[in-house]
Each structure stands twice: as structure tokens, then as C-alpha cells.
Amino acid sequence: MSTVPPINPATMPADVRAAGKKGEQLYSDALGFENVLLQQLTQQMFDTSGSDGSDGLTGLGSDGSDDSSDDGSDDSLMSGDATSSAFSGMLPQALADALTSDGGIGIADQLYQSFAAQYGIAPTPKTDSTGTAKTGGASS
């Protein structure tokens, strides 16, 4: 199983930063789940596009005429040779890591919000009718 790429604290939601280490750990775990999900989704996307040169990108922009070269080379994005095959296998993980390291697509935050109370992490302080922040702990 892969690890979550380093999380930029600036992309971490304010309520997670305010919750301290316990909140950051929960958010990191939720982000790990989001990373795995994104990796599976992007892997499926790349699998359905075909890795044998039949990805639909070979004739992109052609008018139907035969523009193939006589040297036998395949000009598709993922032509199927050993090098491109190795790199195309890394693309789903790289895309998932890039999305996750930039804050994800929102799944991790929703998971964090769902599980925060169960793990004893106080939600973001709400204000009462007088505008004073309600806190569960000692006042400062």
C-alpha cells in the first residue's frame, strides 16, 4: 500500500489545524483513503483508455486519411513499448498523489467531519446568540 504524499499545512482545513495533532492524524488518514480511491479511479480511467496503442489518441485530429509513417513507429500517447508501458503504469499513482497533495477533492474533509466527533475531536467552535464563541474547555 502506498503512503500519502506530504500534506501541505496551508491546504489543510482550518478546523483540522485547530484540532491539533489528533485532528491532523484523522485528516491524514482520511486523505490516505481519498488517495487510494483516487488511485483506483485513475487506474480504471487509464485501463479503459487502453495501453496497447488503442487508446483513441493515435488519430487525434486526423481527417481520416492514412498519416502513418512507413518506419513502423506508433505515434500514440501510450504506444505499448517497454518504456512507455512502465511510465503509463505510474501515471495513476502520480495523478492521485498530485490531487491529494493539493488538498484532495473534498472526500477527506467530509470523512474528517463525519468521524471527528467519534474520535473526541471538537468541531469548529460555534457562536452563541451573543456572538461569543462556545468552547468545551477552559476559557483563555
Q: Give the pLDDT mean for 7-23.
A: 85
Please give the pLDDT value at position 139: 42
What is the C-alpha to C-alpha distance for residues 54 and 58, in angstroms, rounded to an integer? 7
What is the C-alpha to C-alpha distance for residues 98 and 8, in angstroms, rounded to an integer? 12
Please give the pLDDT value at position 120: 85
Is residue 88 scored above 90 in pLDDT? no
Q: Give the pLDDT mean for 95-115.
A: 90
Please give the pLDDT value at position 116: 93
Position with higher pLDDT, 71 vs 21: 21
Query: pLDDT, tens digit, for every residue of 107-118?
Result: 999 999 999 988
State residue 8 phi and psi, 5-degree precision.
-75, 120
Query: What is the identity of the amino acid at 102?
Result: D
Q: How many other β-carbons are positioned within 10 Å of the β-carbon of residue 106?
A: 9
Q: Is the Cβ–Cβ distance between 12 and 115 less than 8 Å? A: no
Q: In this structure, what DSSP letter does residue 87 have?
A: H
pLDDT band (50, 70, 90) for residue 137: very low
- List the grid coordinates of 25: 492524524
Q: What is the mean pLDDT of the chain?
A: 73
What is the C-alpha to C-alpha distance for residues 38 and 2, in angstroms, rounded to an integer? 12
Q: Give the pLDDT mean for 36-58.
A: 75
Whether pTM exceeds 0.85: no
Q: Cβ contacts of residue 113 below 8 Å, gap of 6+? A: 123
Please give the pLDDT value at position 125: 55
